Amino acid sequence: MEDRILVSGEKSFTLDKMQIALAIRNSTYEDELSCSLLKNNVISDCLCCNLEVICEKLDEVAKEYLQSTTTVLSTFSFE
């Protein structure tokens, strides 16, 4: 297996869902999700970007993954 999101075939390119999923998962641990369009000043804000809806969903997926993999082992309170 290769550690690349873009995989080339004989006649086309495909995106590897596993690598995309790992990138989102890793963003919940030691990495983060960011936008190169904002970072490189291609756009000034997300409102003018037609990818905004997709980016919002990516943030939701990362948040849902973190919530689903975070388990509270016990709780206590000071009374």
pLDDT of residue 55: 94
Of 13, 17, 14, the C-alpha closest to 25 is 17
Residue 19 has φ and ψ, to the nearest 5°, of -65, -35
pLDDT of residue 7: 67
Q: Give the H or E element holding residue 15.
A: strand 13-15
Positions in the chain whose pLDDT score sits under 70: 1-9, 73
Q: How far apart are CA 53 and CA 37, in angstroms?
A: 15
- Token output for 44: 């000034």
pLDDT of residue 6: 65
Domain ranges of the chain: 6-65
Residue 7 has φ and ψ, to the nearest 5°, of -120, 125
* DSSP class of 11: S
This prediction's pTM: 0.68
